[in-house]
């Protein structure tokens, strides 16, 4: 576009990230240095939330993290909620004035947590959570 040629003084390093949604070709991977980054623990997620929402109520975050990790633990989820889903969900909880009491006192037999559309991103996972809630209701009778 600019008709300029830019030459690197040193060989450039290119960083490529992947969330494992697609298999990368072996020929490509042979030329890569692989570094796995584990999913953030609760303390790290708390720090991430603090950066995005420095004035958020700590009790809300604590309850939301409990729900978030409970959803992530559900066996068979096609897509576990990620850090960005947590941040988006917290924004919605604050916008709708849903406090920590609602999350703390949630009925485990209800289908999914409030505003869970920010956490669960496909119909198959919503149906799975609804089936689990239904089975929980039947077992508690």
pLDDT digits (tens, 9 = 90+) for 52-95: 999 999 999 999 999 999 999 989 999 999 999 999 999 999 99
pLDDT at res. 111: 55
pTM of the model: 0.77
The enclosing H or E element of 60 equals helix 58-73
Q: How far apart are CA 65 and CA 81, in angstroms?
A: 11
Q: pLDDT band at 131, cuts 50/70/90?
A: confident
**pLDDT-derived band of residue 49, with 50, 70 and 90 as boundaries?**
very high
Residue 109, pLDDT > 60, answer no
Domain boundaries, the chain: 42-139
**Which is more confident, 109 or 3?**
3
**pLDDT for 110:** 61
Is the pLDDT at 108 greater than 60? The verdict is no
pLDDT-based confidence at residue 132 (cuts at 50, 70, 90): confident
Using CA atoms, how far residue 120 sits from 16, 43, 57, 135, in Å, is 26, 22, 23, 19
């Amino acid at each position: 576009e600019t008709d300029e040629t830019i030459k690197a003084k040193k060989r450039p390093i290119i960083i490529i990230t992947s969330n494992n949604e697609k298999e990368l070709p072996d020929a490509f991977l042979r030329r890569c240095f692989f570094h796995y980054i584990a999913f953030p623990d609760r303390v790290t997620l708390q720090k991430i939330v603090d950066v995005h929402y420095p004035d958020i109520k700590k009790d809300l975050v604590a309850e939301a993290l409990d729900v978030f990790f409970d959803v992530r633990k559900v066996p068979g989820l096609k897509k576990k909620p990620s850090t960005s889903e947590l941040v988006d969900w917290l924004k919605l909880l604050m916008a709708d004035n849903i406090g920590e009491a609602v999350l703390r006192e949630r009925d485990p037999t209800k289908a999914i947590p409030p505003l869970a559309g920010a956490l669960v991103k496909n119909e198959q996972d919503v149906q799975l959570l609804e089936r689990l809630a239904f089975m929980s209701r039947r077992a508690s009778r």
